[in-house]
Amino acid sequence: MGTARHYASQSRAPVPAARVIFRGGAYMRRPWYILAGTCFILAGVNFSLFIRDYLSWPLFVSDPENPPELARPAFRYTAAFGTVLISSLCGWYFWYSPSRMITRVTVYPRTKMVGLRTAAPSPALWLPRFARQRPFFQRAGVVSDKDPFERLVPLNEVYRLQGSALGSEVAACNRLVKENVDLPPHLRTMLNRVAPNIPKVDLQDNLMLRVGDARLAFQLSAEPSRTLLLNEPPVSRGKRWWQSVFKGPADWAQPPNYAPPEAETQAHEVRVARGLRAEPWFLDRDNFDRLFPLDATRYNKK
């Protein structure tokens, strides 16, 4: 096990009960995901009724003397059922997505566990208690007894599948360089130091984690905004309103018995003052990537 996996246990100083290392928000507020999923399902049901009653074959006919005929009932009902099934899966995806979008990552050094707080609770909470305690429903961690939005996972079972915290910052800086923006000295130094060692696949705005034995990855938004990087004035009221309506705000809720360090409190105050309520925050981007090393097994050729 590398030194990064001992991130919380190598110091001789008193070990804190919890340490928050990431805070962020979902791409959209949860009601918008529910609305989008509902629209997919309703549209699929409406279209399936049309298929059931009016589907003709062949579909495209240019000969007026041979008009299309109504398809056989078995074919029409099968096509209608398939339409409902596909639209329901699309709708379920939107309903399910917030439960896979990480808004806070907390390390519990004493137990060597990681708390992944998401924008929505685990769907397993809808099941009876005896059912959700089965291993199949705990592949992505155990839901915390103190917070239904948080899953507890052993530290050695969380890896990066795609992207990196540092790579997201480099991607944002590269975009500014292409726009001929004069970067602050500390950002230029950071680019010269780390940019050559970051793969292109990690230069993206989000980061995906493999959690336990779950087949579906967890995702978090990691790219900093131009306003924060360049220390620009606060964003306009119009942009603030737009973000407050559509984008999910960063999760600044505190874990139980957690006292945030001064740097974390200052970061929160700066974001609020500049209207950057959806801005992600990392305790340390470089150490975040080391704590969760890249899992390259999915790319191995069989």
pLDDT single digits (tens) 77-94: 999 999 999 999 999 999
Same domain, 162 and 71: no
Instruction: Please give the structure tokens belonging to residue 12.
Output: 């001789």
Residue 281 lies in a domain: yes
Q: Regarding predicted confidence, which is higher, 241 or 115?
A: 115
Domain closes at, from 81, 97, 113: 97
Query: Which residues touch 229 (CB under 8 Å, ≥6 apart)?
Result: 169, 172, 173, 176, 183, 184, 187
Torsion, Cα of 184, 186, 188, 191 (10° steps): -140
pLDDT over 90 at 10, yes or no: no
pLDDT at 9 over 70: no
pLDDT digits (tens, 9 = 90+) for 284-299: 999 999 999 988 665 5
On the question of pLDDT at 230 being above 50, the answer is yes
**Domain count along the chain:** 2
| More confidently predicted of 230 and 1 | 230
- When pLDDT is cut at 50, 70 and 90, the band that residue 20 belongs to is very high
Whole-Å CA distances, 268 to 33, 59, 104, 287: 26, 58, 14, 20
- 106 occurs within a structural domain: no
Is the pLDDT at 13 greater than 70? The verdict is: no
pLDDT of residue 165: 94
| 192-196: average pLDDT | 88
Asked whether residue 283 is assigned to any structural domain, the reply reads: yes
* Same-domain status, 91 and 201: no
Asked whether residue 290 is assigned to any structural domain, the reply reads yes
Residue 141 lies in a domain: no
pLDDT exceeds 60 at position 206: yes
Let me know whether 256 and 184 are in one domain: yes
> Across residues 29-56, what is the average pLDDT?
94
> What three-state secondary structure class fits 72?
coil
- Same domain? For 180 and 288 the reply is yes
**Which residue matches tokens 């929160």?**
268
Is 168 inside a domain boundary? yes
Same domain, 196 and 274: yes
pLDDT at 4: 44
Same domain, 165 and 241: yes
Residues composing the chain: 302
Q: Is residue 112 part of a domain?
A: no
Same structural domain for residues 197 and 77? no
Joined together, the tokens standing for residue 40 give 């997919």
In this structure, what DSSP letter does residue 101 have? Answer: B
Cis peptide before 58 (omega within 30 of 0): yes
Q: 198 or 12, which is more confident?
A: 198
- Residue numbers of the domain that contains 236: 22-27+158-294
For residue 256, the model assigns a pLDDT of 87
pLDDT in tens, 252-266: 999 988 989 999 999
Q: Which of 97, 112, 135 is the last residue of a domain?
A: 97
**Site of tokens 């050695």:** 156
